[in-house]
Chains A and B, each alone.
Chain A
Amino acid sequence: MDDSSATTKHEPAISVRNLHVRYGATEVLHGISFDICAGETMVILGGSGSGKSTLLRTMVGLEKPSTGEIWIKGRNIDRLSEQEWDDLRKKMGMSFQGGALFGSMTVGENVALPLYEHTELEPSTVGIVVRMKLEQVGLAGFEDYMPSQLSGGMKKRAAVARALAMDPEILFFDEPSAGLDPIIAAGIDNLILKLKEAFRMTIVVVTHELASAFLIADRMVLIDKGKIVALGTKEELRASTQPRVRQFLDRVPEPEVSEELDYLQMLTEERPKGRA
């Protein structure tokens, strides 16, 4: 596809500026700011309920910020017209946690869908592109399988193939290794590394798997309870002395509640509704 990334060499591919997101009355992200440079792999780390999935969903436009801005390729996504938003989305690909493959279509039809809807390519050409993409993710020959016939790892690979169909400039991954055994998860990590080397895409990965994160990341940002706790390269985070960062990286469980009053408060506290 066209090489418009040359003009944006000096400005970040994605810029998150003082982002606040709420679900109903509950604020889930409290003022997140960071940049992602073109061609780098940024891993968003965090525990369950930290807000990392919300952050990813807001970046691709599935959630709206309550305050703050997200700039992608130099444009404020809040200010885009529908047509401009569509054009931007065609340059981004997203791989969802469960794959989100369309159950009524074969794997090949899933990958071909964006090509049929957004391009004027002949069906025979589309078929070639589909086979190419499936081969890139290691699923050559699986075009005629239905998603229900695939294993978890294969579904994720197929989802990546679909995200790659339009040769995106930015790829988003939501928990790519979640629920997979270590060998399959390593396969997915290798796939991401391959994409990094071959295409120099900007890659944004949300995960809580530390081993994967340190393997694939250029830089990482650790989110805890809706705030950034650490932002930097792999080495910087590994060397961090902040207690929350160390707790996450060293896999230290939450301390047992020993104070009676604290325990009582925990039992009787109102739980906030909505996802984090």
Chain B
Amino acid sequence: MGLTDGVGRGTLKGLAYLGGLAQLGGRAAYATFVPAAKARRVRPTRAIHQAMAVGVEAIPILSLITFFIGVIMALQGAYELRQFGAIQFVASAVAISITRELGPFITAIVVIGRSGSAFAAEIGTMKVTEEIDALETMALPPVPFLVAPKFLAMLIMMPCLSIWADFMGILGGLLFGVTSADFTVASYLAATRDALVMRDIVTGLIKAVMFGIVITAVGCYEGFSTGAGAEEVGRSTTAAVVKSIFLVTCVDLLFTALFYFTTEK
């Protein structure tokens, strides 16, 4: 009886959590996109500030990581392909895996680690110091004030970072191709271009946007549900990162399957 009880409770809690996320995401989207909902002069500045932190400042680390991932994918792919004398397909293997999957996904992981945790920590600390309460008493509802700028920044920056990640990943494959697989820069890039279809890039970008929504919602939701004390801020930051990684993977699975089953080829 204990196991089914636990599973039942866990499921209900999980569904309630998703409901809470959806509610927060909905309110943030409303505040961002409905102009009547208290559009303020100050908001663009805050959104730009967030975009800098979420996007621009992530570029160095994201570039390095996706570059290395590109090299790794090329190495792994070439390892198999050369057994069949097909090493020239390394360029397309890297291109497709990076643009469809690894570019957006690794971008999401990096952004979770940097910004998902930062959102939870910032809002969690504000909750502990009563700054959230202060906003409410000043007739400044916290969701439009705190979450909407982050939401907007994330929606714009995730696809941009994802494109950049794609580029750096292909560059990594290029390094391998030119040094160990008899490619020239020109031939590698031509092979990459031939292998890629618009659909690969677009599906990657759609996934990136969805990942961004999840990361913002989870980070902010965990921040708002922080209890009292410094230990709680640590707990909610950790929870934000772990839950974001899990939910991003679920969304990835969902959309990848969706794209697969809706293709007629």
Interface size on A, residues (CB 8 A): 26
Are A117 and B140 closer than 8 Å at their CB atoms? yes
- Given A116-B41, A117-B42: A96 and B134 interface contact (C-beta under 8 Å): yes
Are A116 and B42 closer than 8 Å at their CB atoms? yes
Proximity string of chain A (93-124) to chain B, C-beta cutoff 8 Å, 1 when within and 0 when not: 11011101111000000000110111000000
Q: Is B80 at the interface (CB under 8 A from chain A)?
A: no
The 10 residue pairs across chains A and B that have the minimum distance between CB atoms: A89-B139, A100-B134, A100-B130, A86-B139, A94-B137, A96-B130, A114-B138, A100-B131, A60-B137, A90-B139
Q: Within the complex, which residue of B40, B42, B129 is in contact with A100, where a contact is CB–CB below 8 Å? A: B129
Which A residues touch B131, using CB under 8 A? 100-103
B: interface residue count bin: 10 to 19
> With the chains together, A139 CA to B140 CA distance in Å?
25
Residues of A56-70 contacting chain B, CB below 8 A: 57, 60-62
Are B129 and A89 closer than 8 Å at their CB atoms? no
Q: Is A16 at the interface (CB under 8 A from chain B)?
A: no
CB of B118 to closest CB in A, whole Å = 12
> With the chains together, A86 CA to B140 CA distance in Å?
8
- Given A116-B41, A117-B40, A117-B42: A97 and B130 interface contact (C-beta under 8 Å): yes
Supplied contacts A60-B137, A62-B133, A96-B130, 6 more A-B pairs, CB within 8 Å:
A87-B139, A96-B134, A100-B130, A101-B131, A114-B139, A162-B138
Q: Is A92 at the interface (CB under 8 A from chain B)?
A: yes
> With the chains together, A87 CA to B125 CA distance in Å?
28
CB of B150 to closest CB in A, whole Å = 13
Which B residues touch A101, using CB under 8 A? 131
Which A residues touch B129, using CB under 8 A? 98, 100, 103
Q: Is B136 at the interface (CB under 8 A from chain A)?
A: yes
Among residues of A, the one whose C-beta sits closest to the C-beta of B128 is A98
Which B residues touch A118, using CB under 8 A? 139
CB of A69 to closest CB in B, whole Å = 20
> With the chains together, A90 CA to B38 CA distance in Å?
15
CB of B22 to closest CB in A, whole Å = 20
Looking at B42, B129, B139, the one whose CB has the most chain A CB atoms below 10 A away is: B139
Proximity string of chain A (48-60) to chain B, C-beta cutoff 8 Å, 1 when within and 0 when not: 0000000001001
Which A residues touch B42, using CB under 8 A? 116-117
Residues of B118-152 contacting chain A, CB below 8 A: 125-126, 129-131, 133-134, 136-140
Among residues of A, the one whose C-beta sits closest to the C-beta of B38 is A117
> With the chains together, A90 CA to B41 CA distance in Å?
19
Are B40 and A98 closer than 8 Å at their CB atoms? no
- Given A98-B130, A100-B129, A103-B129: A89 and B40 interface contact (C-beta under 8 Å): no
Are B138 and A100 closer than 8 Å at their CB atoms? no
Are B137 and A89 closer than 8 Å at their CB atoms? yes
Which B residues touch A102, using CB under 8 A? 126, 131, 134
> With the chains together, A100 CA to B137 CA distance in Å?
11
What are 28 residue pairs bridging A and B, where the CB atoms are less than 8 Å apart in the complex?
A57-B133, A60-B137, A62-B133, A62-B136, A62-B137, A85-B139, A86-B139, A89-B137, A89-B139, A92-B137, A93-B137, A94-B137, A96-B130, A96-B134, A100-B129, A100-B130, A101-B131, A102-B126, A102-B131, A102-B134, A103-B131, A113-B140, A114-B139, A116-B40, A116-B41, A117-B42, A117-B140, A118-B139
Which B residues touch A62, using CB under 8 A? 133, 136-137
Proximity string of chain A (127-152) to chain B, C-beta cutoff 8 Å, 1 when within and 0 when not: 00000000000000000000000000
> With the chains together, A116 CA to B40 CA distance in Å?
9
Are B139 and A94 closer than 8 Å at their CB atoms? no
> With the chains together, A62 CA to B134 CA distance in Å?
10
> With the chains together, A62 CA to B137 CA distance in Å?
8
Which B residues touch A61, using CB under 8 A? 136-137
> With the chains together, A254 CA to B29 CA distance in Å?
54
Q: Within the complex, which residue of A87, A90, A96 is in contact with B133, where a contact is CB–CB below 8 Å? A: A96
Among residues of B, the one whose C-beta sits closest to the C-beta of A82 is B141
CB of A24 to closest CB in B, whole Å = 13
Proximity string of chain B (36-50) to chain A, C-beta cutoff 8 Å, 1 when within and 0 when not: 000011100000000
> With the chains together, A100 CA to B130 CA distance in Å?
5
Are A100 and B139 closer than 8 Å at their CB atoms? no
Which A residues touch B40, using CB under 8 A? 116-117
> With the chains together, A70 CA to B42 CA distance in Å?
34
Q: Within the complex, which residue of A85, A87, A103, A113 is in contact with B138, where a contact is CB–CB below 8 Å? A: A113
